[in-house]
């Protein structure tokens, strides 16, 4: 069977959306959607796409990527209906930006042989476009906090504002830990929150210097916690008991068993 071309499928998506959003014969739910509501659904779909990629599911990745693309088009159509927006123009601007930021590909300048050189050039060109005082403004404020800490300090590090290595970050961590202990001792809840934030920020940078993705490391820790806690729950259930009926000592023992089994 002949597969439809991306262009034909794109045009079909737009036709489906125009039917769904038709003021007389469309779908009441779809017509009620706003940019804010659609961004929420888009974020959910992006996380589902991430899961499919992590699971190496080709079929799942294709489905979730299609859902993400559909929602982006949906958002474009809603914005277009509100005025001052054109989906075709937005896509054209994105293409122009990619050409502008890849002069080593689309012009005769050449001269770049590594990904690091490309990134350095990208940020220089982006800074020229954004203007002074906006060097970190391209890092979205709604990114997950660990990821945003990584992106902010990676950008700052590109102009030399960074720790020299993991050992320096560890020393900073020890300083921040001392400040947290002092805030706890003083009973200053506002300072406790601030110092705890500084510790989390420092740990995110320790991961960066160790070439570890802090967000993924924490997700793996979450998965380990979930697996071990489920182990506790299942073994108690096999005894006809609930979590509420178990003592902390019993749960600690089962946790150690789960850990020993590699969960």
- Chain-centroid distance, C-alpha 132: 27
Q: Please name the CATH architecture into which domain 145-212 falls.
A: Orthogonal Bundle (1.10)
- Chain-centroid distance, C-alpha 172: 26
pLDDT band at 120 (very low <50, low <70, confident <90, very high): confident
Q: How open is the CA angle 120-143-49, to the nearest 5 degrees? A: 95
User: Does the pLDDT of residue 1 top 70, yes or no?
Assistant: no
Q: Does pTM top 0.85 for this prediction? A: no
DSSP codes of every residue in 108-140: S-----SHHHHHHHHHHHHHHHH-TT-TTTTS-
Which tens digit of pLDDT belongs to each residue from 134-160? 778 778 888 889 989 999 999 889 888
Ramachandran region of residue 99, left (φ > 0), alpha (ψ -120 to 50) or beta? alpha
Contacts of the segment 26-31: beta carbons below 8 A, 24+ positions apart: 30/74
Report how far residue 64's alpha carbon sits from residue 66's, in angstroms, rounded to the nearest whole number.
5
Residue of higher predicted confidence among 128 and 178: 178
User: Does the pLDDT of residue 114 top 90, yes or no?
Assistant: no
pLDDT band at 2 (very low <50, low <70, confident <90, very high): confident
Q: Kindly state the DSSP code that residue 3 receives in the 8-state scheme.
A: P
User: Does the pLDDT of residue 172 top 90, yes or no?
Assistant: yes
| Model pLDDT, residue 115 | 85
Report how far residue 115's alpha carbon sits from residue 196's, in angstroms, rounded to the nearest whole number.
35
User: Does the pLDDT of residue 128 top 80, yes or no?
Assistant: no
Helices (H), the chain: 6-20, 28-32, 35-54, 58-82, 87-100, 103-106, 115-130, 145-157, 166-186, 189-209, 214-238, 248-260
Which tens digit of pLDDT belongs to each residue from 219-261? 899 999 999 999 999 999 999 999 999 999 999 999 999 999 9
Choices 1.10.1270.20, 3.50.50.60, 1.10.287.1080, 3.40.50.150: CATH for 6-90: 1.10.287.1080
Which tens digit of pLDDT belongs to each residue from 82-104? 988 998 899 999 999 999 888 88
Q: How open is the CA angle 204-206-211, to the nearest 5 degrees? A: 95
The owner of tokens 């991306």 is: 6
**Residue of 147, 162, 163, 158 lying closest to 123 (CA atoms):** 158
Residue of higher predicted confidence among 166 and 116: 166
Provide φ and ψ at 254, rounded to 5°. Answer: -65, -35
Provide φ and ψ at 163, rounded to 5°. Answer: -70, 155
What percent of the chain stands above pLDDT 90?
A: 70
Which tokens sit at 30?
Answer: 């779809």
């Amino acid at each position: 069977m002949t597969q439809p071309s991306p262009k034909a499928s794109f045009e079909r998506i737009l036709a489906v959306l125009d039917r769904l959003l038709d003021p007389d014969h469309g779908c009441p739910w779809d017509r009620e959607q706003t940019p804010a509501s659609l961004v929420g659904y888009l974020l959910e779909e992006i996380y589902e796409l991430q899961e499919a990629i992590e699971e190496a599911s080709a079929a799942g990745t294709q489905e979730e990527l299609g859902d993400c693309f559909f929602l982006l088009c949906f958002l474009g159509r809603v914005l277009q209906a509100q005025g001052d927006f054109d989906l075709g123009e937005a896509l054209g601007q994105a293409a122009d930006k990619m050409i502008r930021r890849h002069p080593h590909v689309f012009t005769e300048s050449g001269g770049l042989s590594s990904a690091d050189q490309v990134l350095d050039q990208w940020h220089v060109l982006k800074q020229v476009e954004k203007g002074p005082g906006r060097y970190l403004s391209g890092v979205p404020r709604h990114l997950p906090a660990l990821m945003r800490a990584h992106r902010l300090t990676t950008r700052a590090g590109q102009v030399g504002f960074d720790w020299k290595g993991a050992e320096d970050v560890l020393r900073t961590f020890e300083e921040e830990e001392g400040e947290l202990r002092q805030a706890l001792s003083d009973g200053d809840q506002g300072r406790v929150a601030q110092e705890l934030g500084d510790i989390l920020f420092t740990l995110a940078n320790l991961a960066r210097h160790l070439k570890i993705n802090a967000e993924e490391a924490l997700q793996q820790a979450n998965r380990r916690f979930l697996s071990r806690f489920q182990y506790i729950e299942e073994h108690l259930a096999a005894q006809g008991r609930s979590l509420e009926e178990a003592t902390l000592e019993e749960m600690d023992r089962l946790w150690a068993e789960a850990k020993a089994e590699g969960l």
